[in-house]
Chain A
Amino acid sequence: DARVTQTPRHKVTEMGQEVTMRCQPILGHNTVFWYRQTMMQGLELLAYFRNRAPLDDSGMPKDRFSAEMPDATLATLKIQPSEPRDSAVYFCASGPDSTGQYFGPGTRLTVT
């Protein structure tokens, strides 16, 4: 049963530290998404890749966030420097274009 995997599952860090989150999408899916979920804002799209090319990162704070997809089996989301307001659950999802997305279990980030 193919699944999206994410590491780490939990991360507690101090303000100012770099955070790297990793995602392994489902093999064969050509779209990869990064989302942030909070109680206040719900699901927010941070980045979108199609066939590994970044197509949309308009929802991402450019000064501190970066997203890359170095190969088809790995997507990364980095925050540098992290701030307390970045505390949230970060989800990676992959999918075959329009027929829906498959989400990973999420990374629960706490920045103190």
Chain B
Amino acid sequence: QKEVEQDPGPLSVPEGAIVSLNCTYSNSAFQYFMWYRQYSRKGPELLMYTYSSGNKEDGRFTAQVDKSSKYISLFIRDSQPSDSATYLCAMTKSGGSYIPTFGRGTSLIVHP
């Protein structure tokens, strides 16, 4: 079992839909959680960063961490075709080397 699991998709939704992207993890030592967006032939772009449990909102994006379930989510409201990309989750342990463990990414397609 991998430390971080992420469904590769593709996830196809109509424009305007609420999108839910998820990752599960097995190591309870993870404390810092990140979401990256990667467009085709580009580098990953840091979208959101959260520490420990709870929610964080930034515009149309909300990151949610449930440490009791070892489950993190990224919600995208009012999805746009420009949101079509691969979304990678990543997480690091506290007090350590800060080397992140990445999920494989979920491909999202928002069609007009």
The answer to whether A and B interact is yes
Query: In residues 93-112 of chain A, which contact B (Cβ within 8 Å)?
Result: 93, 95, 97-106, 108
Most chain A CB within 10 A, of B31, B42, B46, B100, is at B100
- By DSSP majority rule, is chain A's interface helix, strand, loop, or mixed? strand
Q: How large is the interface on B (under 10, 10 to 19, 20 to 34, 35 or more residues)?
A: 20 to 34
A30 to B32, CA, bound (A): 17
Let me know if A98 and B92 touch, CB within 8 A: yes
Question: Chain A: which residue is nearest B96 at the CB level?
Answer: A98
Let me know if B92 and A105 touch, CB within 8 A: no
**A50 / chain B contacts, CB cutoff of 8 Å:** 97-98
Let me know if B99 and A56 touch, CB within 8 A: yes
How far apart are B7's CB and chain A's nearest CB, in angstroms? 13
Interface stretch, picked from A13-21, A41-49, A60-68, A72-80, is A41-49
- Contacts known (A42-B105, A98-B98); A103 close to B43, Cβ less than 8 A: yes
Question: Chain A: which residue is nearest B33 at the CB level?
Answer: A100
**B51 / chain A contacts, CB cutoff of 8 Å:** 98
Question: Chain A: which residue is nearest B35 at the CB level?
Answer: A100
- Contacts known (A43-B88, A98-B92); A91 close to B44, Cβ less than 8 A: yes
Let me know if A99 and B49 touch, CB within 8 A: yes
Q: A residues engaging B (CB < 8 A)?
A: 4, 31, 33, 42-43, 45, 48, 50, 55-56, 91, 93, 95, 97-106, 108
